[in-house]
Copies of this chain bind each other. A is one copy, B any other.
């Protein structure tokens, strides 16, 4: 007898790495860390308006909003950033009611250029103010119809590279231009992203870390179909939302054999959700992995004062503790409680501080993790064919009007 086979049950780390290397030129986000940002910064310097309103939805706003939310409590930003995303009329009116339209720069962002929410809202804005080169900036693909509109009206534009998908676009003009305008250090963001990129592609620390984590998630995807991100910082709600889009839209796909793949992202924040979702993690079905994100140094010394409240003396043990220490002790207690159970997969990411570099590192790491998971799952992380049907149905409803 003789045997021969080509079974290769294990996808090796090297297989994954090669697959990522292979797409590094065709998938644009990988190389955004090396771009020259001088044109963005030059333009940002020229903006005099106080209010910056981004008109966009999904990938055109989530990343920018994540970074802005994360950083805006740490520094005095000179300008206020708003996002008009929803077609909910009460929401549009409420947001526009809070700003001085004559002191506003509108940044209209749409990759395809024909996003119905974005164009609807922009048409409405056209009925309120005269749009011209001084109050409007367009960010879109070079050959989109929105770009044609910009050219015909001599509006300033920045380009979204064709090979950078919406949910991977935070490090191109989509995110960097609005952030530079409000006074955020975009080079430091890219510097952080670059550090992760270098580490991964040089097969240093982040190579093993990211591939191991993705391997675990994918190999256990039927057992643990929910990936919970538990961020211990109130300012990370926006990051959680960005993660939900990145993970859900990239990995929620039909694979080559027609199977419905599934890793479902969930984002919660601590300590608030200790009083909400945590009970379900601890006692509920063992269908979740948990990633806890901590901030090592909040760079803040706000402290619980040693004031005794008569009747509540038993809580005086918290006196003189900085809040930054309390929130991290709460995170550590949660992690310890989870680890004691021994049957909930949990990893912890501790970022250095609430800074541009830290959020750049974290977001780039999650982009890489998403790409690597997709390789393990044999799916395309960069398309979203599932949402087309709804768009076609919506269009047909207009035709039948």
Contacts and interface: CB of A to CB of B under 8 A. Distances in A.
Given A93-B73, A264-B280, A391 B310 contact: no
Given A57-B271, A260-B286, A279 B252 contact: yes
Given A119-B315, A124-B302, A271-B57, A261 B235 contact: no
**DSSP class of A's interface residues: helix, strand, loop or mixed?**
helix
Interface stretch (A42-50, A196-204, A332-340, A358-366): A332-340
Contacts of A235: 88, 90-91
A349 interface: no
Interface residues of A, number: 124
Contacts of A336: 390, 393
A284 to B, nearest CB: 3
Contact of A279 (B88, B249, B309, B317): B249
Residue in A73, A286, A397 with the greatest tally of chain B CB atoms within 10 Å: A73
A276 B391 contact: no
Contact of A276 (B62, B114, B275, B322): B62
Given A261-B284, A271-B57, A390 B120 contact: no
Interface in A279-321: 279-288, 298, 300-302, 304-305, 307, 309-312, 314-315, 317-319, 321
Residue in A221, A232, A311, A336 with the greatest tally of chain B CB atoms within 10 Å: A311
A59 interface: yes
A82 interface: no
A329 B394 contact: yes
B89 A322 contact: yes
Contacts of A315: 114, 116, 119
21 contacts: A59-B275, A73-B90, A73-B94, A88-B235, A89-B300, A89-B324, A89-B327, A90-B234, A93-B300, A114-B312, A119-B318, A127-B305, A145-B311, A148-B312, A152-B311, A166-B275, A249-B276, A253-B279, A264-B288, A281-B386, A283-B385
The 7 closest A-B CB pairs, nearest first, are A262-B285, A58-B275, A252-B280, A148-B311, A252-B284, A282-B386, A91-B234
